[in-house]
Amino acid sequence: MKKNEFKILVVDDDEEFVEAVKELLERDNYDVITAFSGHEALQKISESQDINLALLDLVMPMMDGFTLLEKLKGIVPELPIMIVTGQGTVQTAVDAIKYGASDFIIKPFDKDILLSKLEVIRKSHQLESRLGELQQLISQKYGFESIISGSKTMKAVFERAAAAGRSNAPVFIVGETGTGKELLSKAIHLNGDRSNKPFIAVNCGAIPKELLESELFGYKKGAFTGAVKDHEGLFIAANGGTILLDEIGEMPKELQVRLLRVLEDYKVRPLGHTDEVSLDVRVIAASNHSIDDLKNKYLREDLFFRLAVIVIELPPLRDRRSDIPLLIENFINTFNQKYSKNIKGLSEEAFNSLYSYNFPGNIRELENLIEGILAVAPSDKDLITDRDLKSHLVWQQPKTSEHQILALDKLEKFALEQALRESGGNKSKAANLLGISRDTLYRKLKLFNIQ
């Protein structure tokens, strides 16, 4: 922002004072509008909504500075207002701040002090403007319009997600790996009233279960060995905003009980603390497991229903093949720019191969495929061929037969029973023998009905 783009309204019934201040501010490249009464000031503010600051005298006939301040705040609540007066008492300053003034200066004042105070307000305004521009850029990148799709299925997903963004209810997003669950979560956050607050994503399957509780809920210095300083935890860090619990199906059952308590009371007690911290946080959960598996295998039923207030299912790419051409075009444009290439598209044979491919890795797999090809493509290459695809694409293996699946199940059940026998029924030892977690062992025992 240039200096003369910052507009100040100067209001005082002393014409000489107004003219002197106007001359001073214009020399410092401020844009100045003047008014000699409260009523004239209100008219000027209604005519020019882009005023950035009001400089008000406190003592004026008909309408004093405090009354005018209240009326201006009613019209433009975010407008910074500085009170200028010859009545320099402590009570006057307190009253000015109480009525909503941003600052206070006493007549006669040092012009350098006034200019210094105005510069602070101007810089704050510039930072807010840049933040707004950045927020708009982020919204364009992560809003619903940034998710490439033209399919009817995804249109329904966007409508449901937009409705979710307008509420603060918990959301559960399910979909295969690579379908864009985190991207959709960010879009929901940015299209809600928490968009200028933190968005924090945590992968529950990527953090060791011994550390997950302290990462989520925080801890006090000395709460355990290695806790050398206080750690607020991700829930408190996301306060006011949104927390995404990605791959929540991997969360240990004993920790699910603690999470349920947090979601019921919206309070959290960091490890080692005696006091609880109140939370105002929007929770979005995501998983690549099916709804049935989440409800019956991976999550406590009470936690599942607490999280699944709004459920959004993201379809795999093979069920929205009409989006493949749009995605290919978008990725080619993106990586042409990144790698300084000039690929114009795919050969007919290559396109047919991609269109018939099932994409087990979904959109992420397609994106990585296109990037991998463009990253090593010769500078004069203009088309992606079928040969390019086959050197990068991991084609699907033939499906395992039903007899093979039954044989594998029988072998797995035998291994579980053998491990339990060797451990004398100790499940922790059995899990260690098999190289799996206790949670996985319990799921397998339940699956094969092993007592």
**Shared-domain flag, residues 181 and 231:** yes
Token pair in block for residue 399 = 């499906």
Taking a C-beta distance cutoff of 8 angstroms, is the pair 160, 310 a contact? yes
Q: What is the pLDDT of residue 395?
A: 45
pLDDT tens digits for range 171-208 = 999 999 999 899 899 889 988 889 889 999 999 988 88
Q: Quickly tell me which residue has 């302290």 as its tokens.
A: 214
Task: Please report whether residue 397 resides in a domain.
Answer: no
State how far the Cα of 118 lies from the Cα of 9, in Å rounded to an integer.
Answer: 12
Task: Please report whether residue 345 resides in a domain.
Answer: yes
Average pLDDT over residues 394-422: 59
Which of 49-53, 127-131, 276-280 has the largest mean confidence? 276-280
- Of 262, 287, 315, the one marking the end of a domain is 315
Q: Greater confidence, 305 or 442?
A: 305
Q: What is the pLDDT of residue 340?
A: 93
Task: Please report whether residue 145 resides in a domain.
Answer: no
**Shared-domain flag, residues 122 and 199:** no
**Shared-domain flag, residues 326 and 359:** yes
Domain that holds residue 274: 151-315
Task: Please report whether residue 162 resides in a domain.
Answer: yes
Q: What is the CATH number of the domain that holds 309?
A: 3.40.50.300
- pLDDT(60) > 60: yes
Q: Greater confidence, 382 or 97?
A: 382
Q: What is the CATH number of the domain that holds 357?
A: 1.10.8.60
Q: What is the pLDDT of residue 322?
A: 86
Region for residue 26 given its phi and psi (left: phi exceeds 0; alpha: psi -120 to 50; beta: otherwise): alpha
Average pLDDT over residues 39-54: 85
As a residue count, the chain comes to 451
What does 246-311 look like in DSSP terms, one character per residue? Answer: ETGGGS-HHHHHHHHHHHHH-EE--BT-SS-EE---EEEEEESS-HHHIIIIIS-HHHHHHHTTEE
**Shared-domain flag, residues 28 and 83:** yes
**Shared-domain flag, residues 165 and 298:** yes
pLDDT tens digits for range 361-388 = 999 999 999 999 999 999 899 999 988 8
CA 46 and chain centroid, separation:
36
**Shared-domain flag, residues 235 and 280:** yes
Average pLDDT over residues 333-359: 91
- pLDDT(449) > 90: no
pLDDT interval class at 397 (50, 70, 90): very low
**Shared-domain flag, residues 291 and 233:** yes
Q: Which residues pair with 201 in a beta bridge?
A: 244
Instruction: Report CA dihedral (344, 347, 352, 353) to the nearest 10 degrees.
Output: -100
- Of 392, 412, 437, the one marking the end of a domain is 392
- pLDDT(405) > 50: no
**Shared-domain flag, residues 256 and 272:** yes
pLDDT tens digits for range 315-345 = 999 998 888 888 999 899 999 999 999 999 9
Taking a C-beta distance cutoff of 8 angstroms, is the pair 323, 283 a contact? no
Q: Greater confidence, 412 or 395?
A: 412
**Three-state DSSP state, 186:** helix
**Shared-domain flag, residues 218 and 259:** yes
Among 103-107, 222-226, 325-329, 350-354, which stretch is predicted with the lowest mean pLDDT?
Answer: 222-226
Q: What is the pLDDT of residue 396?
A: 39
Task: Please report whether residue 41 resides in a domain.
Answer: yes
Q: What is the pLDDT of residue 58?
A: 84
pLDDT interval class at 422 (50, 70, 90): confident
- Of 105, 134, 163, the one marking the end of a domain is 134
Q: What is the pLDDT of residue 404?
A: 46
Count the alpha carbons within 13 Å of 234 in the hemisphere toward its beta carbon.
20
User: Which is nearest to 235 in space by CA: 219, 223, 247?
Assistant: 219
Average pLDDT over residues 436-441: 76
Average pLDDT over residues 241-250: 95
- pLDDT(218) > 60: yes
Q: What is the pLDDT of residue 149?
A: 67
The proportion of the chain whose per-residue pLDDT surpasses 70, expressed as a percent, equals 88
Cβ-Cβ contacts under 8 Å for 164 (sequence gap 6 or more):
171, 188, 310, 312
3-class secondary structure per residue, 4-54: HHCEEEEECCCHHHHHHHHHHHHHCCCEEEEECCHHHHHHHHHHCCCCCEE
Task: Please report whether residue 143 resides in a domain.
Answer: no
Q: What is the pLDDT of residue 88?
A: 60
Supply the mean pLDDT for the chain.
Answer: 84
**Shared-domain flag, residues 115 and 243:** no
Taking a C-beta distance cutoff of 8 angstroms, is the pair 173, 221 a contact? no
Which of 180-194, 402-416, 432-446 has the largest mean confidence? 180-194
State how far the Cα of 32 lies from the Cα of 53, in Å rounded to an integer.
Answer: 10
pLDDT tens digits for range 137-169 = 444 455 555 576 678 888 888 889 989 988 999
Q: What is the pLDDT of residue 307?
A: 96
Task: Please report whether residue 333 resides in a domain.
Answer: yes
Q: Greater confidence, 237 or 397?
A: 237
pLDDT interval class at 312 (50, 70, 90): very high
How many domains does one find in the chain? 4
Q: What is the pLDDT of residue 370?
A: 93
Task: Please report whether residue 107 resides in a domain.
Answer: yes
- pLDDT(401) > 50: no
Among 157-166, 224-233, 245-254, which stretch is predicted with the lowest mean pLDDT?
Answer: 224-233
**Shared-domain flag, residues 167 and 236:** yes
- pLDDT(301) > 80: yes
